[in-house]
């Protein structure tokens, strides 16, 4: 079995990229939402379908954003610190056998 290497800087960088991407997507959705408000006066069957579809899309975006935010938080608050703490414990235990 090949040794496993975890680079905590890589985990931090990935978390940061996820956060940045999430913010960029949210910004694009905010722009889209402001454009959609211009369609609020569109009456008729096609306007109703378009508005309903857009509202569903925005609700899906909220869920997507929460998932990415939670994933970035997990990487920063649990995975990285947990790995660092485990490695420190392993080094301490290994030092006892020197």
Are the CB atoms for 82 and 29 separated by under 8 Å? Answer: no
Asked if the model's pLDDT at residue 4 lies above 80, the reply is no
Domains of the chain and any CATH numbers: 10-95 (1.10.287)
Contacts of 65 by beta carbon, 8 Å cutoff, 6+ apart: 22, 25, 26
Distance CA 5, CA 11 (A): 12
pTM listed for this prediction: 0.72
Are the CB atoms for 15 and 70 separated by under 8 Å? Answer: no
pLDDT at 15: 94
Are the CB atoms for 93 and 24 separated by under 8 Å? Answer: no
pLDDT tens, position by position, 26-78: 999 999 888 888 877 778 888 888 888 888 888 889 899 999 999 999 988 88
pLDDT band at 22; cut points 50, 70, 90:
very high
pLDDT at 30: 92
């Amino acid at each position: 079995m090949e040794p496993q290497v975890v680079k905590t800087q890589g985990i931090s960088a990935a978390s940061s990229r996820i956060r940045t991407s999430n913010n960029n997507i949210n910004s694009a959705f905010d722009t889209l939402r402001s454009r959609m408000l211009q369609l609020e006066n569109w009456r008729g069957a096609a306007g109703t379908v378009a508005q309903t579809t857009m509202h569903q899309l925005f609700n899906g975006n909220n869920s997507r954003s929460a998932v990415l935010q939670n994933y970035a938080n997990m990487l920063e608050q649990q995975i990285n610190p947990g790995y660092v703490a485990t490695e420190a414990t392993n080094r301490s235990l290994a030092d006892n056998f020197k």
